[in-house]
Chains A and B, each alone.
Chain A
Amino acid sequence: MREWPAARSLGRPVAPDIERAIITVGDSYVDAVVGYRTWWVSLLEGRAFLSSVFIPSAKWLPGQDAVSRCCCRGDDQRLRRIPGACKDTCGIYAFHDYAHAFAARMPRSALTDLYGIRVPQESVTVRGQVYLWGKVKVHERGYRAEFARPAAFYADWKDERQRLRVQMAAQQFDVPLLEVS
């Protein structure tokens, strides 16, 4: 097994119970935090892309690391309309653990009714693991991070349409499909 030099974290020491994984970013390596989250999976001309559940305009593309956009600067007009939403809520969200991510289910109709979010009917959800690094805010049940990359998807589908999209996304994002235990 390869020996890695100690990874560098700035600021306060990282809590030992935070799940970590070494990943390669360009010509460097990162001792990334591992989080759990849900995405929308969509297909455009046979190419899969992911998007944030609450901000469908925030797209994740294969081969590209996701970078947080500061909504406080007004990139997202919809967020500006929600009182308090722009106050230090930026970042790529994930939960600490699988249980919290799986418990955070919200019907598509509730997203529309509560937040005015309209998701294309052909999009399906996928739950998975995500690597996080850069500035990472640690919360009681999750994280907000500056950079992120999908790490794995869960083979958790309810119909054939969802299975096909999740499998295609796993192949194009080059991530494993994990059995739900």
Chain B
Amino acid sequence: MMDKLYLIAQIADTRVALRSRSINSVVGVENPVPVPGAPPHVVGLFALRSRILTLIDPHVVVGLAPVKVADSQRVIVVDVAGHGYALLADRIEDVCFIEAPETPLHGQLSPGWARVADALVEFEGATLLVVDPAHFITTPVARAA
């Protein structure tokens, strides 16, 4: 069941279906604390209750220019290897089951997206990229175009 559950969101200017297995929650963030010296896709740190999360900017991961964090911007909280991260989202749409099967990619994507996207899926008359949120954290950053 969980395998079919996706979070539909717009991330790095692209509509994607995020596999929900590692997604913890969606929260608002304000004013993250920067981490000098950290890789460029690390926006900073913020506290969620008693946890400290590392905020990631997916724009940088796929090779776009970084964006400014707006007040109460929505972020997707994910757990990867015991650490908590949050992905900046441009817009959060919905969580839903997608019964349609994932179809493999055939190299039509930009280099940045090609490294994070796994497959394609049909949803309500549109084609979405299927992305595992963990890829945004573990993938080396694409050089900004």
> A and B from one assembly?
no
Chain A residues engaging chain B, CB cutoff 8 angstroms: none
